[in-house]
Amino acid sequence: MLNIRLPGLGRGLALAFAASALLAGPSTAFEPGNAECIAPAAPGGGWDFTCRQVGKVMQDLKIIPGTMQVTNLAGGGGGVAYAEVVSKRSKDNNLIVAASSATATRLATGAFPGNTMEQMRWVGSIGADYGVIAVAKNSPIKTLPELFAKIKADPTSVSIAGGSAVGGWDHLKVLIAAKADGINNLRSIKYVPFDGGGEAITQLLAGSVQAFTGDASEAKGFVDSGDIRVIAVLAPERLPGAFHAFPTAKEQGIDAVGANWRGFYAPGGMSDDAYKFWVASVKKVYASPEWKKVMEQNGLAPLDLDGPQFEAFVKKSISDIQTISKEIGLIK
Amino acid sequence: MDVFSSLGHGFEVALTFQNLGLAFIGCLLGTVIGALPGLGPSNGVAILIPLSFSLGLDATAALILLTSVYYGAMYGGRISSILLNIPGDEPAVMTTLDGYPMARAGKAGEALAISGIASFVGSFIATWGLVFLAPQLVKVALLFGPAEYFALYVLAFATLGGISSANQAKAAFAAALGLGIAMIGVDGQTGVPRFSFGTVHLYDGIDFLVAIVGLFALSEVLIFLEHRGEGEVHGKVAIGRPVASWAVLKHCTPAMLRSTVIGFVAGVLPGAGASLGSFMAYATEKNISNRDKTFGTGDPRGVAAPEAGNNAAAGGALVPMLALGVPGSGTTAVLLAVLLSLNITPGPLLFAQHPDVVWGLIAALFMANVMLIAMNLPLVGIFARVLLIPPRFLMPLVAMISFVGIYGINGSTFDLYEMVVFGMLGWVLRKFDVPLVPVIMGVLLGNQMEANLRRALTISNGDWGALLHSPLAIALWVLAAVGFLLPIVVGKRVKARMARAKGELAEAMDAD
């Protein structure tokens, strides 16, 4: 099981940290003056959630002095915030910015004009929402290979609904899985974009489409009610809780993982000391029992990457997305 | 009945000192937020989310606060529509059509009273609808696939001609302009930016609120500047008695009831929301009861209909949000985000898994509604006094609120430039007597209309016949054809009567 990873260690770290805070001598040389987290979207969304929840845990654990100020800088699917940090705040040591798979997808497809991932320092991840592919409960399709066999036989017979635009993360997840199953003509797969996962599932229930691609958290309510059947989870291992009954794609012989990760980047000109501080801080948050509770409540699965490891992960996912986007003709 | 015991339990949950207090604060803040141009229910709720989290409220309490703001804003939106001809929020656009002429005729108090009562009727009945019909109406929503949604939007535009008393061709032009503006931004189907000129700020498209505040509020200020105050745009308005007589209320009752049903159904349909609710309510009422051609010139029913409609839609929009996790409007989308972050997954099992939250919320809606009518009727006099402020003080205030409100949404100076452009556009359009409401309808519905057409065609592999594949779709197309042709057929008689009423009408034109 994934969610029982190191609760003891987490508590130990928190204690160790509390002790070090008492001694007033944390090991890092840097301490933020007034810590700020930019959520590149309006209040209420996933990035806003990332900033506020992580900020709150950092405050509660006294990792940062005072409070974390959350700034909502919406626009351009995160592009406004990205451009602002590059142009105006590239040396700000007190700043981190919420990011997710969507950030990587947009960087990969050139949706942030003139911006690249090298302009930022990538801090770490705080969890992931794994992808699922589902059908209605009365669908004749029972497994992921069956779905793909149907697409191979006649691509026009299957429409797959998702909550992101064409070339967005929900679309890419299906393509990653289809490619792993040996479908070469990715363009022939019919993907129908809706405004969010909930709307896409409703259309699945209404019978307008044959399959759904989205995140586990979006599908949870409908899995619990038994209205939809998850035919594959795009995770390395089975997920805990309600999703434990559903097989991964890997178990079905299709080696595909689609994680909608959540994490942070920091300005590219941040000092090494400050960068180390933020990497360590995000790590502490991840390890804390408080954060375990937040993850459990919000359907976040474990994904624990930090510093250079996280940077390599983002780099790889950007290049993977670019490869697929080229194949479907979204970018040249 | 089972429903009543559940509802009783809900009142037990909701009737605590803390929850009553939260509902009261929510209603008060909501009314003010709704009344301020530029601040609508969705950003009102969004602004208060951080507050509810930092107060450490539990799920039920947080929802009571936020839905009170939601209902309050639906009440408040009408105030500036009537008094200033500036919609306080999106759904209140239609209320300007008859509300403002009433205010100019010295019946501002009466218009506020009628619209307050209509708001109460709409949301009271809609809340009962939420109680009884939630499971059933969810099934109706499931009948709507992309093809049906597209037909629904066509219906909305086909009946546009009936809405505007001005030149039909100008209304069509305005709608086309709105649709064109809606095309700006990243295309949701392919992820490719359109008409964004490489500016990352335009990737999200034109914010509806920016357009509405620019077109309505700023253009008002520009017109005032043009006349240098000598025109006294609002100055001569007498408030009149701040109550509505029984006779008038009785006259409006059928309109309120019909509009409630229409608004509720529009609210239940995901994506349609309160704006469509008030729009359809007004259009229907105008088609049914405009025998004396008084609509658009200050007919009380033209105030009652959209207000009952949009408040009923607010209740209706909660149905798919709670029962399916699919928001029925912009505000319920924000509420959905709140629910998810409180670890409550809306969906088919919500009523079974979190009865405290759902029934507590519904009970709170009833309470909020009573509080709102109690708050809004006596305060009508105070709100109406806004009109006594001379325009030379009021207009700078309008400009200030517009700028602060729009900046507050995204903290973006680009939005301010955008708003100024829309203000100038609104000024030009008014000079040419082009109605502004169809522009707004185009901006509001354009993306959804296009997206659903393309979804339907993707699913059918490009076969246009798919648009007529279900009885529901065919019915909607027939209604659209009737709605479009009827005003043209009977248009001549209408024109003849309009000529007679021209004196009054000329003033009412700028209300469009």
Residue-wise pLDDT tens digits, B338-368 = 776 676 766 666 776 677 888 888 888 898 8
Contact of B203 with chain A, judged by CB distance below 8 Å, is answered with yes
Domain-terminating residue out of A252, A268, A288: A252
What is the average pLDDT score of chain B?
78
Confidence of residue B108 (pLDDT cuts 50, 70, 90): confident
With CB atoms and an 8 Å threshold, state whether B271 touches A202.
no
Nearest to A115 by CA among B206, B191, B194, B200: B200
Query: B50–A43: do the CB atoms touch at under 8 Å?
Result: yes
User: How far apart, in whole angstroms, are the C-alpha atoms of residue B115 and residue B122?
Assistant: 10
Chain B touched by A43 (CB under 8 Å): yes
Residues A144, A241 within the same domain: yes
> How many other C-beta atoms can be found within 10 angstroms of the C-beta atom of residue A31?
15
Tell me if B141 sits within 8 A of B269, measured CB to CB: yes
Q: Indicate whether A116 and A148 sit together in one domain.
A: no
SS3 B79: helix
- Output the CA–CA distances (angstroms, integers) from residue B19 to B8, B45, B68, in the order listed: 16, 17, 11
Alpha helix positions (H), chain A: 7-22, 46-60, 79-88, 101-108, 144-153, 169-180, 197-206, 216-225, 272-287, 289-297, 307-327
Question: Average pLDDT of B419-436?
Answer: 89
Domain for residue A1, yes or no? Answer: no
Statement to judge: residues A133 and A119 lie in one domain: no
Reduced to 3 states (helix: H, G, I; strand: E, B; else coil), residue B93 is helix
In this structure, the answer to whether residues A77 and A89 fall within a common structural domain is: yes
Nearest C-alpha of chain B: how many angstroms from A43? 6
- Is A48 among the domain residues? yes
What per-residue confidence (pLDDT) applies to B428? 94
Q: Which of A71, A166, A215, A295 has the most B C-beta neighbours within 10 Å, making it the best mutation to test the interface with B?
A: A166
Report which of B296, B96, B116, B70 is spatially closest to residue B216, judged by C-alpha positions: B96
pLDDT at residue A209 in the model: 93
Chain A residue numbers with beta carbons less than 8 Å from the beta carbon of B410 are 42, 72-75
3-state secondary structure of B258: helix
A139 part of a folded domain: yes
| pLDDT over threshold 90, residue A285 | yes
Average pLDDT over residues A230-240: 91
> Predicted confidence band at A231 (pLDDT cuts at 50, 70, 90)?
very high
Same domain, A20 and A88: yes
Shared domain check, A274 and A185? no
Give contacts of A 110-129 with B, CB under 8 A: 111-113
Chain B residues in contact with A225 (beta carbon < 8 A): 347-349
| Token pair of B482 as six digits | 């009737």
Q: Is 50 exceeded by the pLDDT of residue A320?
A: yes
- The length of chain B is 512
Largest CA distance in chain B: 64
Tell me: pLDDT of A290 over 70. Answer: yes
Judge whether residue B504 has pLDDT over 60: no
Residue A163 lies in a domain: yes
Q: What is the tens place of the pLDDT at every residue in A164-207?
A: 888 888 999 999 999 999 888 888 899 999 877 778 888 898 88
Question: How far, in Å, CA of B338 to CA of B66, rounded?
Answer: 9
Cβ contact A42:A48 at 8 Å: yes
Domain that holds residue A217: 129-252
Closest residue in B to A56 (Cα–Cα):
B54
Helix (H, G, I), strand (E, B) or coil at A229: strand
Its ipTM equals 0.76
pLDDT of residue B235: 46
Residue of B nearest to A169 (CA): B191
A292 and A218 part of one domain: no
Contact between residue B306 and residue B281 where contact means Cβ atoms under 8 Å apart: yes
Q: Is the Cα torsion angle A75, A77, A83, A89 positive or negative in sign? A: positive
In a shared domain, residues A166 and A193: yes
- Nearest CB among A44, A225, A297 relative to B334 is that of A44
The predicted model scores a pTM of: 0.70
A12 touches chain B (CB under 8 A): no
**What are the tens digits of pLDDT across the range B167-188?**
778 888 988 999 999 999 888 7
The answer as to whether A332 is a domain residue is no
Which residues of chain A lie closer than 8 angstroms to B326, CB-CB? 196, 198-199, 202
What is the average pLDDT across A115-132? Answer: 93
Given a cut of 60, whether residue B497 has pLDDT beyond it is no
Of A108-112, A224-228, A290-294, B56-60, give the lowest mean pLDDT range.
B56-60
State the pLDDT confidence band at A118, using cuts at 50, 70 and 90: very high
What distance in Å separates the CA atoms of residue A18 and residue A13, rounded to the nearest whole number?
8
Q: What are the angstrom distances between the C-alpha of A17 and each of A12, A27, A64, A283?
A: 8, 10, 12, 12
Q: Are residues A240 and A133 in the same domain?
A: yes
Interface probe, candidates B53, B345, B407, B414, chain A, greatest A C-beta count within 10 A: B345
Number of domains present in the structure of chain B: 1
What is the C-alpha to C-alpha distance for residues A77 and A67, in angstroms, rounded to an integer? 26
Q: Most confidently modeled of A36-40, A75-79, B266-270? A: A36-40
Per the structure block, which two tokens stand in for B379?
């305060």
In the numeric block, the tokens 């076969």 are attached to B463
Both A136 and A211 in one domain: the answer is yes
Q: A30 in a domain, yes or no?
A: yes
- What is the spatial distance between Cα B50 and Cα B186, in angstroms, rounded to a whole number? 29
**Does A295 reside within a domain?**
yes
Report the number of distinct structural domains present in chain A. Answer: 2
- Is residue B470 within 8 A of residue B204, CB to CB? The reply is no
Query: Least CB-CB distance to A83: which of B200, B337, B412?
Result: B200
What DSSP assignment string belongs to B411-426? --HHHHHHHHHHHHHH
CA A246 – CA A220 distance, rounded (Å): 12
Does one domain contain both A21 and A107? Answer: yes
Q: Which two tokens stand for residue B356?
A: 């405290």
Q: State residue B137's pLDDT score.
A: 57
How far apart, in whole angstroms, are the C-alpha atoms of residue B296 and residue A331? 51
Whole-number pLDDT of residue B220: 79
- Kindly state whether residue A233 falls inside one of the protein's structural domains: yes
What percent of chain A clears pLDDT 70, i.e. is strictly above it?
A: 90
The CATH number assigned to the domain holding A198 equals 3.40.190.10
DSSP B455: H
pLDDT confidence of residue B42 = 67
Whose tokens are 């025998």? That residue is B291
Residue where a domain stops, chosen among A252, A273, A290: A252
State pLDDT tens for residues B247-294.
888 888 888 888 999 888 888 765 556 777 888 888 888 877 777 777
Q: Are residues A136 and A229 in the same domain?
A: yes
Domain that holds residue B406: 2-509
